[in-house]
Amino acid sequence: MLKPQIHNLSSSKTLLQCHKPFFSGNLGAKPAFPNIKRARSSSSGNKNKNISTSVSHAARSSSSIKSVANYTETTTEVLATVVVQFTVSGFLSNLGWNPLDDISDLFGKSIQLELVAAHLDPSTGLEKKTIKGYAHRAGNVDADDVKYECKFKVPNDFGEIGGVKVENEHHNEMFFKTIQLDGFPNGSILVNCESWVDSHRDNTDNRFFFTNKSYLPSDTPEGLKKYRENELMKKRGDGTGERKSKDRIYDYDVYNDLGDPDKDAKLARPILGGKEFPYPRRCRTGRPRSKKDPLSEKRGSSVYVPRDEEFAEVKSLSFSAKTVYSVIHAVIPSIENVSIDAELGFPYFTAIDTLFNEGIDLPEVPKSTLINLLPRLLKTVTDQGKNLILFETPEFLDRDKFKWMKDEEFGRQTLAGLNPCCLQLVKEWPLKSQLDPKEYGPPESAITTKTVEEVIRGFMTVDEAIKKKKLFIIDYHDLLLPYVKKVREIKGTTLYGSRALFFLTPIGTLKPVAIELVRPPMDGKPQWKEAYAPGIDATSGWLWKLAKAHFLAHDSGFHQLISHWLRTHCATEPYIIATNRQLSEAHPIYRLLHPYFRYTMEINALARQALINADGIIESSFAPRKYSIEFSSVAYDKLWRFDHQALPEDLISRGMAEKDPRAPHGLKLTIEDYPYANDGLILWDTIKQWVTDYVNHYYPKPGQIESDEELQAWWEEIRTVGHGDKKDEPWWPNLKTPKDLVQIITTIIWVTSGHHAAVNFGQYDFAAYMPNRPTIARVKMPSEDPTDEEWKTFERRPEDALLSCFPTQLQASKIMAILDVLSNHSIDEEYIGEAPEPSWAEDPAIKSAFEVFAGKLKELEGIVDARNNDKKLRNRTGAGVVPYELLKPYSEPGVTAKGVPNSISI
């Protein structure tokens, strides 16, 4: 076959390299380029639609025709445009741009491209030779991108373009956004890269990018099967060696890098993942082992994630994760340095207010570095020249300064607050622990029928309340009680096993009924437990306030460790690893899932570095302190089920809904005005319909799911490796039908989008004012085995007892700074349904389905607004009530307590 030449090579030179005629004398052959429609690319700005690579007979008049001896050759001139993205610090400047690269650019030798045919040569059964060319720099696309161009002469019998091989001749890696091929008679072909490409000097293995056309494994053209298999093999690696920053390898490991025993024996932590502490797997880094604990990985200044999972070079400086890094490594240490006494609590309630109106002076923070990163926090007082952390007043506090004290708000936030996914229907009475009574004491709850009926008297009896589904509970008793003794050994911390009971009133609100706090037998003392109810006198009123503070500290810890970290960040990482190891980038399911995974591995790595690590932010300021991540392992073991991560199944499992084909979404809610469930179910159904349309399009025939070897390997690896500690559980869904696949994928997307948004973006608004959601309780209840002097002190100044229970000034300040950035939307946030992926727009049916999806999400915006103005919905409206908008799909940048991004990127 002819080896095509590029640019202005002579015809005679081309003919000397000719081996076979293209058409064997038949000028009436069928067009060689089958239709390939390409997506609209938001990155390149190309607007063309409904295009293909067919060469029609009529179009051949524009081709270059060369007649030699007994055959005729026809070619089409194609222009390849490569778009490369600038880095955040200027075009590749932070990568050490080499002057020699400018010379390469000048002579057009900086990027080599090879067009790869999708199909084999029909006459030989072999791969067709690629068509090579060098791209030269051709100027800027816009302020963010630079383009390179290359011209090809493509023989018209070359057939369908399957992909492009790329060799980066620069001295440094480059971030490729798109490659667009223009000049085919029926339009352009777009290759969506969105990937770093190594310098050929560092990696001689060229990169291959598929076109935006998706293929099931069984439909893959023969010419692409090798590339499909090779790309997967590269991303799997061989499971050995320490990963380098430029690697693209996805593999599994246990959580053995949270402790730091080499630094201090007190920082040793158990390995999470395995029989003793079951846990999802994280991305393998292969770092050296700790000297003092061979099972642990040695910590370093950074954590490997596959190169394309990183965001630092391709996201703007305003990206929230960069801000998190700055807060952790600059602001928090400065707060610690200016703190006079790490154990100092707030002396009075107005002192808490000073964080919002006076701030904290941070002389050590470099203003030039942080002024742009922390626009909400870092304030400059020009007349004094100081850097101040001055916290924004949360809307919750601005609307009603005393709402945090009110029981009706305590009840409302269980349905429309930061952790709305732990409430359960009470189905058995009396309440009873399942723990071993020999170790933990009598299992009967201190909350008795009498306790409850003294509060709900006038409504109904306990038996009637249970029968009519009016009693609800948040129960952390059995999870926390085994940790009470260990946590109490930590200075400045206490813990209880706890429960909170609620009654559903006739107007649909929750009335707090009782809180139980339990201490197991310890230190020679028997079990201690007490049930607290809303006060009817001064003393019981203050004890109730203190009991709420203790319970809310437990709820805050559970929220951060389980509802947030475990159920979203941690559980999702194995899905990402398996998707990259087992699904080709040309697989339609890979392309469906990809936007819902962006940047999650990077933010998880950052969390392991400074948030959930030994003595990190979580351990230092949340219950249950140094046992926090170990506690999340216990919750994973006892509570986590993949099938219950689906919102409808979650609601049913908690008794918050039951199946009813006549009800909206097929579910009848136990509490009609349940904002998290009400808005969440619309979002769930919208996601599910989008996934259904997508899956049914690519799997129209019976048996295609079971015969898709990549898909089956993907699901097998998630179950048996990524979540391998639960591989034998009977509740794992089968993957045999399109319906099975729809449920699995909808569950994954719901977790990364809706569930994460519901438990993340309200953190500052609900928890920045620490009395509303304290993260830790520092002292025991005054009523737990008090001395006469302790009791007299409590009666004399009960406010001091509450302030002593709250986090210290240092703990509160650190948590507020972290919650501010964790609740922040960056200016380039990618919201669910906002824009289609280029490959989705490749097919008219998928594009149409996405447009329906996007339209439904816009409808949800209006539904949320209408609900927040419906005076009958008392859990989302009323005097001083902040509207529930956490599942409202879109948001402006900043801390807004609304907006549902595609992925867990903060």
Q: Tell me the per-residue pLDDT of 777-799, one tens digit each, with 9 for 90 and over.
A: 999 999 999 999 999 999 999 99
Mean pLDDT across 515-544: 97
The token pair at 166 is 């790329």
CA distance 331 to 866: 40
CA distance 184 to 43: 21
Active site residue 604: no
Specify the pLDDT at position 313.
47
Specify the pLDDT at position 28.
33
CA distance 358 to 334: 17
Which residue's entry shows tokens 């392992």?
633
Mean pLDDT across 811-827: 90
Specify the pLDDT at position 320.
52
Specify the pLDDT at position 145.
85
Whether residue 437 is predicted with pLDDT greater than 90 in this model: the reply is yes
> Residue 13 burial (CB < 10 Å; 0-12/13-18/19+)?
exposed
Percent of all residues in the chain with a pLDDT value above 70, rounded to a whole number: 85
User: Which one is catalytic: 170, 171, 550, 756?
Assistant: 756
Phi, psi of 69 (to 5 degrees): 50, -115
Ordered DSSP codes for 349-401: HHHHHHHHHT-EE-TTS-HHHHTTT-TTTEEEETTTTEEEE-PPPPHHHHH-T
Residue 877, SS3?
Answer: coil
Whether the CB-CB separation of 80 and 133 falls below 8 Å is answered with: yes
Cα 554 to Cα 100, 498, 563, distances in angstroms = 60, 8, 12
Whether residue 667 is predicted with pLDDT greater than 60 in this model: the reply is yes
Whether residue 312 is predicted with pLDDT greater than 70 in this model: the reply is no
The token pair at 232 is 């997967």
Specify the pLDDT at position 361.
79
Mean pLDDT across 53-72: 37
User: What b/e string do you get for 411-438 counting C-beta neighbours within 10 Å, with b at 16 or more?
Assistant: bbbbbbbbbbbbbebbeebebebebeee
Active site residue 875: no
User: Which one is catalytic: 136, 569, 587, 594?
Assistant: 569
Which residue's entry shows tokens 């990027």?
111
Q: Tell me the per-residue pLDDT of 128-145, one tens digit each, with 9 for 90 and over.
A: 999 999 999 998 888 778
Neighbours of 111 (CB within 10 A): 28
The token pair at 638 is 């006892």
Mean pLDDT across 459-476: 97
The CATH code of the domain that includes 500 is 3.10.450.60
Q: Where are the beta strands (DSSP E) in 767-886?
A: 824-825
Q: Tell me the per-residue pLDDT of 878-899, one tens digit each, with 9 for 90 and over.
A: 999 999 999 999 999 989 999 9
| 3-state SS record for 187-210 | CCEEEEEEEEECECCCCCCCEEEE
Whether residue 3 is predicted with pLDDT greater than 80 in this model: the reply is no
* Band of residue 10 on the pLDDT scale cut at 50, 70, 90: very low
* Band of residue 745 on the pLDDT scale cut at 50, 70, 90: very high
Residue 311 covered by a domain: no
* Band of residue 314 on the pLDDT scale cut at 50, 70, 90: very low
Q: List, in order, residues 6 or more apart from 837 with CB less than 8 Å away.
A: 39, 192, 591, 594, 595
Residue 727, SS3?
Answer: coil
| 381 alpha-carbon distance from chain centroid | 36
Whether residue 558 is predicted with pLDDT greater than 60 in this model: the reply is yes
Neighbours of 177 (CB within 10 A): 21
Whether residue 840 is predicted with pLDDT greater than 50 in this model: the reply is yes
Residue 67 covered by a domain: no
User: Which one is catalytic: 760, 772, 875, 902?
Assistant: 760
Q: List, in order, residues 6 or more apart from 374 with CB less than 8 Å away.
A: 323, 326, 327, 331, 821
Indicate the range of 188-202, 216-230, 493-507 predicted with least confidence: 188-202
Phi, psi of 881 (to 5 degrees): -85, 130
Specify the pLDDT at position 259.
97
The token pair at 494 is 């206490």
Which residue's entry shows tokens 């919201």?
831
Task: Answer with the one of 165, 188, 210 that is the final residue of a domain.
Answer: 210
Residue 778, SS3?
Answer: coil
Active site residue 564: yes
Percent of all residues in the chain with a pLDDT value above 90, rounded to a whole number: 75
Indicate the range of 21-25, 304-308, 360-364, 691-695 predicted with least confidence: 21-25
Residue 526: asked if its preceding bond is cis (omega within 30°), the reply is: no
The token pair at 660 is 């009813």
Q: Tell me the per-residue pLDDT of 171-199, one tens digit each, with 9 for 90 and over.
A: 888 899 999 999 988 889 999 999 999 99
User: Which one is catalytic: 477, 564, 594, 755?
Assistant: 564
Ordered DSSP codes for 544-584: HHHHHHHHHHHHHHHIIIIIIIIIIIIHHHHHHHHHHHHS-
Mean pLDDT across 381-401: 80
> DSSP state, 696?
H
Mean pLDDT across 203-214: 93
Active site residue 569: yes
Residue 310 covered by a domain: no
Mean pLDDT across 773-780: 97
Q: Which residue has the higher pLDDT, 67 or 214?
A: 214
> Residue 155 burial (CB < 10 Å; 0-12/13-18/19+)?
buried
How many domains does the chain divide into?
2
Mean pLDDT across 739-763: 98
In the chain, % helix, strand, coil (3-state, to 5) comes to: 40, 15, 45
Whether this prediction's pTM lies above 0.85 is answered by: yes
Q: List, in order, residues 6 or more apart from 728 with CB less than 8 Å away.
A: none
Neighbours of 87 (CB within 10 A): 17
Active site residue 644: no
The CA-CA-CA angle for residues 85, 86, 88, to 5°, reads: 125
Nearest to 474 by CA among 413, 546, 527: 413
Residue 722, SS3?
Answer: helix
Whether residue 275 is predicted with pLDDT greater than 60 in this model: the reply is yes
Residue 884 covered by a domain: no
CA distance 842 to 847: 7
Q: Tell me the per-residue pLDDT of 21-48, one tens digit each, with 9 for 90 and over.
A: 222 233 233 333 333 333 333 333 443 3
* Band of residue 337 on the pLDDT scale cut at 50, 70, 90: confident
* Band of residue 98 on the pLDDT scale cut at 50, 70, 90: low
> DSSP state, 238?
-
Specify the pLDDT at position 836.
96
Question: At how many degrees (to 10) do helices 407-416 and 675-698 cross?
Answer: 0
Give the domain range for residue 431.
Answer: 403-557
Strand partners, 68: 71
The residue type of 436 is: D
The CATH code of the domain that includes 132 is 2.60.60.20
Q: Which residue has the higher pLDDT, 6 or 216?
A: 216
Nearest to 549 by CA among 872, 799, 292: 799
Which residue's entry shows tokens 């045999």?
736
Neighbours of 713 (CB within 10 A): 16
110 half-sphere exposure, CB direction, 13 A CA radius: 25
Query: How many residues make up the chain in this entry?
Result: 906
Neighbours of 784 (CB within 10 A): 16
The token pair at 293 is 């604990």
Mean pLDDT across 379-408: 82
Whether the CB-CB separation of 122 and 61 falls below 8 Å is answered with: no
Residue 436 covered by a domain: yes
Whether residue 52 is predicted with pLDDT greater than 90 in this model: the reply is no
Residue 798: asked if its preceding bond is cis (omega within 30°), the reply is: no
Q: Tell me the per-residue pLDDT of 596-615, one tens digit each, with 9 for 90 and over.
A: 999 999 999 999 998 999 99
Residue 540 covered by a domain: yes
CA distance 566 to 558: 10
Q: List, in order, residues 6 or more apart from 122 with CB less than 8 Å away.
A: none
Residue 291 covered by a domain: no
Cα 476 to Cα 309, 639, 670, distances in angstroms = 36, 12, 21
Strand partners, 657: 669
521 half-sphere exposure, CB direction, 13 A CA radius: 11
Neighbours of 529 (CB within 10 A): 21
Specify the pLDDT at position 187.
86
Residue 104 covered by a domain: yes
Strand 174-182 and strand 189-197: pairing? Answer: antiparallel
Q: Tell me the per-residue pLDDT of 239-255, one tens digit each, with 9 for 90 and over.
A: 999 999 899 999 999 99
Specify the pLDDT at position 1.
33
* Band of residue 842 on the pLDDT scale cut at 50, 70, 90: confident
Task: Answer with the one of 176, 210, 244 that is the final residue of a domain.
Answer: 210
* Band of residue 380 on the pLDDT scale cut at 50, 70, 90: low
Q: Which residue has the higher pLDDT, 315 or 677?
A: 677
Residue 77, SS3?
Answer: strand
Q: What is the mean pLDDT of the chain?
A: 87
CA distance 540 to 549: 14
Task: Answer with the one of 524, 557, 590 that is the final residue of a domain.
Answer: 557
Cα 66 to Cα 15, 62, 70, distances in angstroms = 9, 13, 11
Q: Compute the radius of gyration of the chain from its Cα atoms.
A: 31
The token pair at 578 is 């398996």
The CA-CA-CA angle for residues 98, 103, 109, to 5°, reads: 105
The token pair at 310 is 């990183």
Whether the CB-CB separation of 311 and 904 falls below 8 Å is answered with: no
CA distance 649 to 670: 14
